[in-house]
A and B are shown apart, each in its own frame.
Chain A
Amino acid sequence: MSQGVGVAGIYVRDQDEAVEFYVGKLGFKVHTDARNGDYRWLTVQHPDQEGFQLGLFRPQAPLVDEATSQALDGAVAKGAMPPLVLVVDDCRAAYEQYRSKGVEFTQEPTSRFGSVDASFRDPSGNGWKLIEAR
């Protein structure tokens, strides 16, 4: 077992929709999907990245109160959450592949500073930068 970050999570508005997006469109795999009443611990994993899980969480009771939950849903929906970066070997190829599956791109692939990058959002509003590995 190596040391390092094991799970980092993002908030999503609907976990079923998030699975459909991250697994169905981006090609991640479900790592853990455990329910306890209304609570659902859901993480996905990039196929090339065994040591890391991306959590797809609801801002929900009992972890946060109802008003906080609404505020967090609003923050996600207006794109106010922190940047996310997905690294790929070929940005233009990934763009074509994801776009054909209906991913909402906010910036087409652009060459700059020796690399190529594009931007997309998940259905909730989380913004991803798609960057070609140098």
Chain B
Amino acid sequence: MAKDLAMQDPALLRRLLRARDAIDAASHEEWPVRRLAKISGTSEAHFARSFKQAFGLPPHRYLLTRRIEKATALLRDTDLPITEVALDTGWSSLGTFGRIFRDITGKSPVEFRLADKAAHHELELVPHCFVSAARRPDLNIAVSEKRRRDAKANDGSNEQEEP
């Protein structure tokens, strides 16, 4: 624990931020650790651990949050078919997109689109990217773990998790 809280070198953090910025700029692309480590000028072995320590979640999960954020924005702001939303945000399979989208947001892409369009928004005065970022899913556990917990909760036979 104490080790987790140790200060990271600001120069390293700045380089890790460059890798995160690269994901942000093109979250539909593939981001293997090798590619990210190269941007940060770190070893592959070092990168994932350093990234998680700096930003609180591993790089592949950060990528998922950005893809889902982008997908929710496209569902909300455009009339693009779901298949196109999936392709545009980096998924090669509609099935995987739908499953992970539901795991993270609790709704299918179609349900999300209908619900969000019905809601009234008063965020026109806030620069778009900040609104979008504020709605980014807070994926602090692995998708598989979230799925497992949700399944358990819906089962009814188990005690509720502490709030």
The count of chain A contact residues (Cβ–Cβ below 8 Å) is 24
The count of chain B contact residues (Cβ–Cβ below 8 Å) is 19
Q: Judge whether A112 and B13 touch: CB under 8 Å.
A: no
Q: Which residue of B lies closest to A107 (CB)?
A: B25
**At the interface, yes or no: B11 with Cβ under 8 Å from chain A?**
yes
Q: Which residues of A contact B25 (CB under 8 A)?
A: 106-108
Q: Which residues of A contact B11 (CB under 8 A)?
A: 77
**At the interface, yes or no: A83 with Cβ under 8 Å from chain B?**
yes
B interface secondary structure, majority: helix
Q: Answer whether A121 and B21 are a contact pair too, CB < 8 Å, given A78-B13, A78-B55.
A: yes
Q: Answer whether A131 and B127 are a contact pair too, CB < 8 Å, given A78-B54, A121-B21.
A: yes
**At the interface, yes or no: B111 with Cβ under 8 Å from chain A?**
no
**Would you give the shortest CB distance from A115 to chain B, in whole angstroms?**
9
Q: Judge whether A74 and B8 touch: CB under 8 Å.
A: yes
**At the interface, yes or no: B70 with Cβ under 8 Å from chain A?**
no
Q: Judge whether A74 and B7 touch: CB under 8 Å.
A: yes
Residue from A74, A76, A104, A117 in contact with B129 in the complex, judged by beta carbons closer than 8 Å: A117
Q: Which residues of A contact B130 (CB under 8 A)?
A: 83
Q: Which residues of A contact B54 (CB under 8 A)?
A: 78
Contact with B along A38-53 (1 / 0, CB 8 A): 0000000000000000
**At the interface, yes or no: A85 with Cβ under 8 Å from chain B?**
yes
- Cα A90 to Cα B20 with chains together (Å): 27
**At the interface, yes or no: B33 with Cβ under 8 Å from chain A?**
no
Q: Judge whether B24 and A107 touch: CB under 8 Å.
A: yes
**At the interface, yes or no: B128 with Cβ under 8 Å from chain A?**
yes
Q: Judge whether A85 and B7 touch: CB under 8 Å.
A: no
**At the interface, yes or no: B16 with Cβ under 8 Å from chain A?**
yes
**At the interface, yes or no: A25 with Cβ under 8 Å from chain B?**
no
Q: Which residue of B lies closest to A83 (CB)?
A: B130
Q: Judge whether B7 and A106 touch: CB under 8 Å.
A: no
Q: Judge whether A78 and B16 touch: CB under 8 Å.
A: yes
Q: A77-B14, A113-B128, A125-B14 are in contact. List 18 more A-B contacts (CB 8 A).
A: A13-B10, A13-B14, A70-B10, A74-B8, A74-B10, A76-B10, A77-B13, A78-B54, A79-B17, A79-B21, A85-B127, A106-B25, A107-B24, A117-B129, A121-B17, A125-B17, A129-B127, A131-B127
